[in-house]
Amino acid sequence: MKQHVFTGFGFGPIQSGLFAAEAFKSGNFKRIVIAEIDQKLVDAVRANNGSYYVNVASSTGIEAVKIEGIEIFNPSNDNDRVELLKALSQSTEICTSLPSVNFYDSGQNSVAALISQGLQNSIAKAAIIYTAENNNHAAEILEEKIKSKLGKIPATVQFLNTVIGKMSQVVTDKDEIIQKKIMPIVPGIDRAFLVEEFNKILVTKCKIKNFTPGIKVFIEKEDLLPFEEAKLYGHNAIHALLAFLGANKGYKKMADFKNDKKIMQIAADAFINESGAALIKKYKNLGDSLFTEKGYRAFAEDLLERITNPYLDDTIERAARDPQRKLSLNDRIFGTMQLALEFGIEPKNMAKGAAAGLIYYVKQNNGSRFSWDELIIALNRIWDKQESKYKTKLIELVKGAFQAD
């Protein structure tokens, strides 16, 4: 019997290709509702009878999956907002999948405001709220925003963090959609969702008594932080390292690494012997198989295979975007290096990714011209007032990697 109601904020590839898709496939939801401010997309999905396509890339090809029975509303529209609030009052599972946590409380009809009103009028016995933004404390941030509006969070509501290792993209070029032979989201929209088949999604353990989530494929963990660190210092760090090294070699696609044994070895060594070695030392007492030599090696080998999947067809440009953020002192590259140093490991391979990232960043501003002096000026500008006891050592490692090349 369908007992659950799902409401998702944002209609990107993760919402459409993971949360809404899994709600649909589960057969446990009597309503699947999406809040989306792109009116053209809203109109197109409605005109298509609430159906859309997601293209799923495996290691052998791409399958177009049709999701049906979706209701979609634009919260900027008065009538739609009324219907959305009704859906939220019935919702047992809610998911925010926005560009960043900064969008939670943005504008009069913000996500936090709408969820607050929905909870205030809730007729659901319990509700869980997944936060799918790329932030280790997204659930706590959203909970605080909503608490400030409600005064108190009901005991039957729980905010869940997520660790989403599922790679995805929106293909926006009409010719590329035709060339890849993938289905657009709906007819009349020159956009397509392309997601990988991987589906091992981690979420905070639901602790609401007598409540069972309708989406059953997610893997619950008591404490997500160790796995969030594995995502940031493993998955995200190596993805960026490869993108920066590839960009400076003139590669266009992540799949171009398939035949570059040298760069793939650098990535594997950074992943297993630097990121992995440090995280295993840090979390060996957790008792989770990921934080063992065998478990982390399997994680690394699987991810390196997935990153270079030609059917996912990820671009270097997309993977390397926003280098200033990715080269921040505590982000994926230098954060991993600091973690390694903390546990007595010299991250020489990650330093190669850091040097490549700085070169990529400087080239964006200076064209093809760069020198070590320009790189260190850029690094100081990126780090600005950020502090770390490892700063001098990090610069030394990056300089060594730069000079070695």
Quote the pLDDT of residue 70: 97
Through-space distance between the first and last CA atoms of the chain, rounded to whole angstroms: 62
Q: Over range 370-394, report the average pLDDT.
A: 93
In whole angstroms, give the CA distance from residue 131 to residue 98: 9
Name all contacts of 398-404 with Cβ < 8 Å and 24+ positions apart.
Answer: 398/351, 398/354, 398/355, 398/358, 399/372, 400/348, 400/351, 401/348, 401/351, 401/352, 401/354, 401/355, 402/355, 402/358, 402/359, 402/372, 402/375, 403/372, 404/352
The lowest-confidence range among 65-79, 153-167, 252-266, 359-373 is 359-373
CATH topology of domain 4-221: Rossmann fold (3.40.50)
pLDDT at position 1? 62
* Cα–Cα distance list, 219 to 169, 202, 225, 227 (Å): 23, 5, 14, 12
The answer to whether the CB of 204 falls within 8 A of the CB of 138 is: no
Q: Tell me the pLDDT tens digit for each residue of 14-33.
A: 999 999 999 999 999 999 99
Q: 87-107, pLDDT tens digit by residue?
A: 999 999 999 999 999 999 988
User: Which superfamily does 225-404 belong to?
Assistant: N-(1-d-carboxylethyl)-l-norvaline Dehydrogenase; domain 2 (1.10.1040.10)
Contact 339, 279 (CB under 8 A): yes
Q: How confident is the model at residue 229 (pLDDT cuts 50, 70, 90)?
A: very high
- Give how far Cα 172 sits from Cα of 17, 20, 166, 248, Å: 16, 21, 19, 25
Place of tokens 């459409």: 16
Per-residue pLDDT band for 364 (boundaries 50, 70, 90) equals: confident
CB 349 within 8 A of CB 269: yes
Cα(386)–Cα(187) distance, integer angstroms: 48
* 207: pLDDT strictly greater than 70: yes
Q: Which 8-state DSSP code applies to residue 106?
A: -
Q: Which residues contact 356 (CB under 8 A, 6 or more apart)?
A: 241, 244, 245, 247, 248
Structural domain spans, the chain: 4-221, 225-404
Whether residue 109 contacts residue 78, with contact meaning beta carbons closer than 8 Å, is answered with: no
Residue 183 corresponds to which tokens in the numbers above? 């289905």
Question: Contact at 8 Å (CB) between 115 and 129?
Answer: yes
Question: What tens digit of pLDDT does each residue of 137-188 get?
Answer: 999 999 999 999 999 999 999 999 999 999 999 999 999 999 999 999 999 8
| Residue 288 clears pLDDT 80, i.e. is over it | yes
Residue, of 107 and 353, whose pLDDT is higher: 353
Asked whether the beta carbons of 90 and 124 are under 8 A apart, the reply is yes
Distance CA 54, CA 218 (A): 19
Q: Do domains 4-221 and 225-404 have the same CATH topology?
A: no
Q: How far apart are CA 83 and CA 119, in angstroms?
A: 14
